[in-house]
């Protein structure tokens, strides 16, 4: 697959999913109780972090890259 096709598809997904992410974030912020967690994973020999916020109805995951690596 051409790199430009991948970049364009990624941008289109971002544009279409951003309103959904904002709605989920807003619902989580107004929730009385949420669970927070982080999961470390390795990619190309580097540790990356996936942060999660969830309740019984919604879940939001954010990739934090490898900024937290010691």
The domain segmentation of the chain, as residue ranges, is 3-63
Q: Is the pLDDT of residue 49 over 60?
A: yes
Supply the pLDDT for residue 67: 64
- pLDDT value at 69 more than 60: no
Query: What is the rounded average pLDDT for all residues in the chain?
Result: 92
Q: How far apart are CA 30 and CA 33, in angstroms?
A: 9
Q: Tell me the backbone φ, ψ of residue 25, rounded to 5 degrees.
A: -60, -45
**Which pLDDT band holds residue 68 (cuts at 50, 70, 90)?**
low
Reply yes or no on whether the pLDDT at 58 is more than 80: yes
CA atoms within 13 A on the CB side of 8: 5
Q: What is the rounded average pLDDT of the residues 49-57?
A: 95
């Amino acid at each position: 697959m051409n790199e430009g096709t991948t970049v364009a598809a990624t941008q289109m997904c971002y544009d279409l999913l951003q309103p959904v992410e904002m709605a989920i974030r807003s619902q989580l912020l107004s929730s009385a109780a949420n669970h927070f967690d982080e999961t470390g994973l390795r990619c190309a020999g580097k540790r990356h972090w996936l942060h999660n916020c969830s309740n019984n109805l919604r879940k939001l995951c954010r990739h934090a890259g490898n900024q937290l690596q010691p």
